[in-house]
Structure 1
Amino acid sequence: MSARIATVFMATGVQGSSVIRALLKDTIFTPRAVTRNANSETARALGCEVVEASYGNKDALKKAVTGAECVFLVTMPFTDLPEMDQGKNVIDACMEAGVKFVALSSLPNVREMSGGKYTHVIHFDEKAEVQKYLEASGIACASICPGSFLENIHRGQLGCPFTKTDTGYELITRERPGSSVIQTWTGHDMGPAVAAVFAQYTTRPAEIDHKMFVLGSRRATAEETAAELAKGLGVPVTVKHLGPMAFPAVDEMYDFSAEYEWFPGVEVPDMRLEALGVKVGTIEEFARTELKEHIGA
């Protein structure tokens, strides 16, 4: 019997590498990793077939998905090639190659949800447009939507380092005070979520096909997140809110998140994912394991 192949884009990133690990663990699909440099140390450490392709190279994309039954697609913001073009190129290649199912990492359409108030959050809006294109393509599909990456805490994203204090740590954030945001341990949970929809898209199509799932442990303010981090670390965690950073895409993202709920009406954790066998990690678990390791606590 020939192997069931699943092609995974951005395979060395937080999301893609999580999917690779989950596929290798459950052994239903044989992963094929796609990256821009197959000879990088990170790519060689994936433990599976690695192919090179950029989102602008249609021939390379076609080769990357040919023979694959399923594809995991995540696009890269703030590059020379818009995310809509990245996604369209991959989806077109999937249609040509006869791919049966695509799982997409997506986000809300900020422009539409805000009635045109916020127009600069292109790293959300373009993913949402890719989702529309995918859902109209005729390919069976599902979208899995993460919230704020918990990994960004130890990565110090957007000039927000997790800082040691005399008594514990300080969570520095650009989230607006009082804003409740979906918190997602993306590297821990994206892989199992994608593996679950890959494994069950033929047997549970009514629950999976053309559905949008929210990936997250809970909706939480920065203060609530800090309290959970403190439980995992065993020391106090305080919060410091920074102001805007004069980058409209980011500043409007936080303004939007303070004013609008991402995925209104969807319970977090998403019980539909739990019904498919996906159990997401908590903020406390993240702190006790991954965060503690990264900060050397």
Structure 2
Amino acid sequence: MSPRIATVFMATGVQGSSAIRALLKDGTFTLRAVTRNANSEAARALGCEVVEATFGDKDAIKKAVTGAECVFLVTMPFAELSEVNQGKNVIDACKEAGVKFVAFSTLPSVNDISGGKYTHAIHFDEKAKVQKYLEASGIACASICPGSFLENIHRGMLGCPFTKTDTGYELTTRERPGSSSIKTWTGHDMGPAVAALFTQYATRSAEIDKKTFVLGSQKATTEETAAELAKGLGAPVTVKHLGAMGVFPVDDMYDFSAEFEWFPGVEVPDKRLEALGVKVGSIEEFARTELKKHIGA
């Protein structure tokens, strides 16, 4: 019998590598990882077939998805080729190749939800456009929306380092004071979510097809997040709020999130993912394991 193949795009990133690990552990599919450089150390460490493709190379994309039953699509923000065109190139190739199911990492449309008040968060809006294109393609599909990556804490993203203090640690953030956002241990949880969708899309279509799942452990303010981190680290964590960054997409993202909910009425953790067998990791668990390791605590 021919193997069931699953193709994973951006396979060496946080989301793609999480999907690779979970799908390898599950064992249902033979994996095909897609990356720009198959000879990179990260690519060689994936433990599965690795193929090279860029989002602008339609021939390479077609080869990457040919023969695949399922595809996990992650697009790259702020690249030379827009995320809309990245997504369309992959979705068109999937349709032509007869791919049966596509899972897509998405974000809500900031422009649409805000009624045009916030127009610069293109890394949200373009993903939302790709999601609409996917849902209109005729391919069975589902979208997974992560929130604020907990991994960004130790990565010091957007000039927000996590630093040692005399009494504990300081969490620096650009989230607006009092703003509550979805917190996601993406590397831990994206993979199990993708594996659950890939292995159940045919048997639980009514629960999965064209649904948007919210991936996160809880909605929390930065102060609430710091309290959970402190539990895991066993040391106090204080918060320092930075002002606007002066980068329109980033500032619109945070201003929007302070004023609007991404998915009103959706419980976090998402009960629909729990029903599919996905158990997400907590902020405290993230701090006790991954964050401790990265900060040498």
| TM-score by shorter chain over 0.5 | yes
1:66-112 deviation digits (Å, cap 9, x = unpaired): 00000000100001100000000000000010000000000010000
How far off its partner does 1:271 sit? 0.3
Q: Work out whether 1:285 is the aligned partner of 2:285.
A: yes
Q: Structure 2 CA distance, aligned partners of 1:280 and 1:48?
A: 25
Q: Does 1:185 align with 2:178?
A: no
CA shift, 1:16, in A, is: 0.1
In 1, distance between residues paired with 2:210 and 2:29?
21
Asked if 1:108 is matched to 2:111, the reply is no
Counterpart in the other structure of 1:274: 274
CA distances 1:186-206 after superposition (whole Å, capped 9, x unpaired)? 000000000000000000000
Aligned residue identity for 1:26 = D
Residue 296 of structure 1 corresponds to 296
2:252 corresponds to: 252
State TM-score, norm by structure 2: 1.00
Tell me the CA shift for residue 30 of structure 1: 1.3
| 1:1-297 to 2 correspondences below 5 Å | 1-297=1-297
Matched position secondary structure for 1:238: strand
Aligned residues: 297
Q: Deviations over 1:30-72 (max 9, x none)?
A: 1110000000000000000000000000000000000000000
Quick one: which amino acid aligns to residue 186 of structure 2? T
Q: Structure 1 unaligned runs (5+)?
A: none
- In structure 1, what is the Cα distance between the partners aligned to 2:29 and 2:212? 22
Report the secondary structure of 1:33's partner residue. Answer: strand
Query: Which amino acid counterpart does residue 112 of structure 1 have in structure 2?
Result: D
- How much identity, in percent, do the aligned residues show? 84
Partner of 2:141: helix, strand, or coil?
strand
Partners of 1:260 and 1:287 lie apart in 2 by 28
- Alpha-carbon distance between aligned partners in 2 of 1:122 and 1:68, rounded to the nearest angstrom: 30
Q: For 1:226-254, what per-residue CA distance to the aligned partner results, in whole angstroms no more than 9, with x for missing partners?
A: 00000000000000000011100000100
Stretches (4+) displaced over 4 A = none
CA distance in 1, matches of 2:87, 2:230: 39
Q: Provide the secondary structure at the position in 2 that maps to 1:172.
A: strand
- In structure 2, how many angstroms separate the alpha carbons of the residues matched to 1:120 and 1:165? 35
Structure 2: which amino acid aligns with 1:167? T
SS in 1 for 2:108: coil
TM-score by length of 1: 1.00
Amino acid of the structure 2 residue aligned with 1:259: E
Per-residue Cα deviation, 1:105-158 (whole angstroms, up to 9, x for no partner) = 000100000000000000000000000000000000000000000000000000
**What do the CA deviations read for 1:243-270 (whole angstroms, capped 9, x no partner)?**
0111000001000000001111100000
**Structure 1 position 2, deviation (Å):** 1.4
Q: Distance in 2 between matches of 1:177 and 1:2?
A: 54
CA distance in 2, matches of 1:268, 1:30: 31
Return the letter of the residue paired with 1:195: A
Aligned Cα root-mean-square deviation (Å): 0.3
Aligned letter for 2:191? G
Alpha-carbon distance in structure 2 between the residues aligned to 1:29 and 1:204: 18
